[in-house]
Amino acid sequence: MKNLDKREGMNLIINNKLYLILIAFLVNGCHLVSKNGDEYFKLELSKNPKVNSKIYGEFEYSSQLDTLHLGDKDYRSIRLYLGIFKREHTIQELKTVKLDTFVPLNDNEKKIPFYLEFKEKGSFIIDGYVEDIVFLNNYYKDGKTRILSNEAKVKGSVQVIDEK
């Protein structure tokens, strides 16, 4: 796998419903970072993908839910939903359309790898959101489960070029 730090980057915006404080772009690779206390988002992607080629990206996510000590019966689910569009959408709109779903490779992994393929040239929006859900089983005295969740918007623009 190539180191994304050595690739050209693209302009990205991650808009957490509550926080968007720090954006950092690095020289030979573009990273978008959003931080606030324990909240952390980082999206890395290559620039100028070619028609009919897949591009690799990584999404790193950390939140206040990381501080929870999960028991044997508890479960955490982190999912990244992405789609390729001509315009930006809200999270509610994105929930009504078909999106690609990406998950960490294992339960302890903080990065979510993904591939996107572009079928035609032009300007596109990579639009989606991350969903983080924790299920605390037997949390209440009656044995019911407590559910904690967080969602954050992810978007960026990309210019797809000819294969040549």
* CATH number of the domain where residue 23 is located: 2.60.40
- Tell me the per-residue pLDDT of 92-145, one tens digit each, with 9 for 90 and over: 999 999 999 999 988 777 789 999 998 999 998 888 999 999 999 888 889 899
pLDDT band at 10 (very low <50, low <70, confident <90, very high): very low
Pick from 44, 61, 77: which is nearest to 110 by CA?
61
- Tell me the per-residue pLDDT of 75-92, one tens digit each, with 9 for 90 and over: 899 999 999 999 999 999
User: How many domains is the chain partitioned into structurally?
Assistant: 1
The token pair at 68 is 């929870």
Q: Give the pLDDT confidence score for residue 9 in this predicted structure.
A: 36
Distance (Å, whole) CA 160 – CA 46: 11
User: Could you tell me the residue range of the domain that residue 62 belongs to?
Assistant: 4-160
Pick from 18, 19, 25, 28: which is nearest to 43 by CA?
25
Q: Give the pLDDT confidence score for residue 147 in this predicted structure.
A: 94
The token pair at 60 is 């790193």
Q: Give the pLDDT confidence score for residue 47 in this predicted structure.
A: 66
Over the chain, what is the mean pLDDT? 75
Q: Give the pLDDT confidence score for residue 38 in this predicted structure.
A: 57
Residues making up the chain, counted from first to last = 164
Q: Please state the rounded mean pLDDT for residues 158-163.
A: 83
Pick from 11, 100, 14, 5: which is nearest to 47 by CA?
11
Higher pLDDT: 151 or 101? It is 101
